[in-house]
A and B are shown apart, each in its own frame.
Chain A
Amino acid sequence: MIHDLIAIIDEYWLLLLIGQYPNGPLGGLANTLILSALSIVLAFPFAILLAFGRLSKYRVLRWPVTVLVYVTRGVPLLMLVLWSYFLVPLLTGADVPSFLTMLTTLVVYQGAFLSEIIRAGIVALGQGQMDAARALGHSYFSAMRYVILPQALYNMIPSMLSTFVATIKDTTLGYVINVPDLTFAASQVNNQLLTQPFQVFLILALTYYVICWSLTWLTNVVERRITRRRAGLIAPKRRGQFQTSLTPNATEQP
């Protein structure tokens, strides 16, 4: 059994790692990681915008964003993937690469989930922080930028990391629209071997497990750190711009 696994990895490691590249498109684990990273990096600012929209006092902003978030959260990701895959070319006439289709869908889907986490983080701070900032003369966005978001995002780091883990797992659904990712590569290997599906998909599962477990482990470390920091056991890291010669102790803090 172990022998089979090693033999498969030995034979197909390059395909699993980078797909057909350089003879075809980049695929395999590399493409999975790129797709995940891009989804996360793009979903994050998108989610902040959605959260602002959800919290806006203007209905023209709040309502459409709320509908978008609710619909997106209420529909299985696979449906969204298929919709974008078949509908976007039909509506626009453009031939969109499946990687781009998957990326966009993931950004919207994860953005919707992340936006609710960020919104919860903002709401949980209470009105007092915003009042204090406004009373000092900060504009709404200045208050968000310097007072609300630094706290809300920091408090929500564990939840956001969980969403990032979910994003990595969700990239597997790209398989149904032929995104050449790790799952796609594993399936190609399986088609060539035909007789060892259990071994092939065990390798696939283990690979995802290692990636996601590492991130979950990181989540737990961060969570513990935040708990300890709140208990006053370690001082928060200082912001660079506020370190001046007038606050000499600043740089001595761990």
Chain B
Amino acid sequence: MTASISSFAKDQTIRLADVRKSYGDYDVLKGIDATVARGEVVVICGPSGSGKSTLIRTVNRLEEINSGSIFFEGQDVHAQMSGRELNRLRSRIGFVFQSFNLFPHLSAVDNVAMSPIRVKGVAPAEAHEKALKLLDRVGLREKANSYPGQLSGGQQQRVAIARALAMEPPVMLFDEPTSALDPEMVGEVLNVMKSLAAEGMTMMCVTHEMGFARDVADRIWFIDAGQIIETATPEEFFKNPRHPRAQRFLADLRH
């Protein structure tokens, strides 16, 4: 492990090396090689079924992989490790789900404060104070005592982002964070993500929001059939996509 840290370029937060995964005969990921630098915002896009969500779920090991490795700050995420080590590792990778997955039995502030208290052992009063600050940051201070069932989809997703941020992760992963939202609520969630990016958060986002990709992403990974077939800056990608599959994807989006 010491060797892997020293050989690891300092500015790389996440490195994927020949990541492969299959469900039975079906290959979902066919050798993904990529890196995410510190402070970089990467948007992963591609047609449905291309493996985007599976890929992002392997980064915090919600999905296992068949071969290859994924390094997070120099640590091999998929190496043999104790449950406790894996939990500690996961607590440092913020994850936002398509379906929010807020805990419906807890109020917004308790959703945000619970894991710092139960996982990191933060004092409840301190965790609450911080939770309220985070809710303020996503514009939901006044909803602190509401339950998820009383919040709109956009509000729920913003609470979910605050919940992930409460663990103070150096990196945030977003798995189609706006896909389950009504169109008029997409903006409020994207704005929170934009402000995060502006503050220098390292982010990996699977999204279909091409406006967000164009404005916020440092790089775009275009995935098709389990492979990254194009990596480009948004400018290059939207103006002049090289791969025919990407050209077709963008053409379809414009319709």
A residues sitting closer than 8 Å to B (CB atoms) are 128-129, 131-140, 142, 146-147, 150-151, 154, 230, 232, 235-236, 238-239, 241-242, 244-247, 249-250, 253
Contacts and interface: CB of A to CB of B under 8 A. Distances in A.
Contacts of B147: 232, 235-236
A113 B145 CA distance: 37
B236 interface: no
Contacts of B176: none
Interface in B87-104: 87-88, 90-93, 95, 97, 99, 101-104
B90 A139 contact: no
B144 A132 contact: no
Contacts of B164: 135-136
Contacts of A140: 83
Nearest to B57: A131
Contacts of A253: 145
**Interface residue SS majority, chain B:** helix
B145 A250 contact: yes
Contacts of A131: 62, 97, 101
Contacts of A135: 60, 62, 90, 93, 95, 97, 164
Given A129-B101, A142-B118, A136 B125 contact: no
B118 A246 contact: no
A131 B100 CA distance: 11
Given A132-B95, A142-B119, A239-B110, 14 more contacts: A131-B62, A133-B103, A136-B119, A137-B167, A138-B115, A138-B119, A139-B83, A139-B87, A147-B103, A230-B149, A242-B124, A246-B125, A246-B128, A250-B107
A133 B83 CA distance: 14
Interface residues of B, number: 41
Contact of B144 (A128, A133, A151, A247): A247
Nearest to B129: A246
Given A129-B101, A151-B104, A247-B128, A137 B90 contact: yes
A128 B62 CA distance: 11
A146 B118 CA distance: 9
Given A137-B88, A138-B118, A142-B119, A132 B124 contact: no
Closest 10 CB pairs between A and B?
A137-B91, A132-B101, A135-B95, A136-B115, A128-B101, A137-B119, A246-B128, A249-B145, A137-B87, A137-B90
11 contacts: A128-B101, A131-B62, A133-B103, A138-B87, A138-B115, A139-B84, A146-B114, A154-B105, A242-B109, A242-B128, A247-B128
A251 to B, nearest CB: 10
Contact of A246 (B93, B104, B132): B132
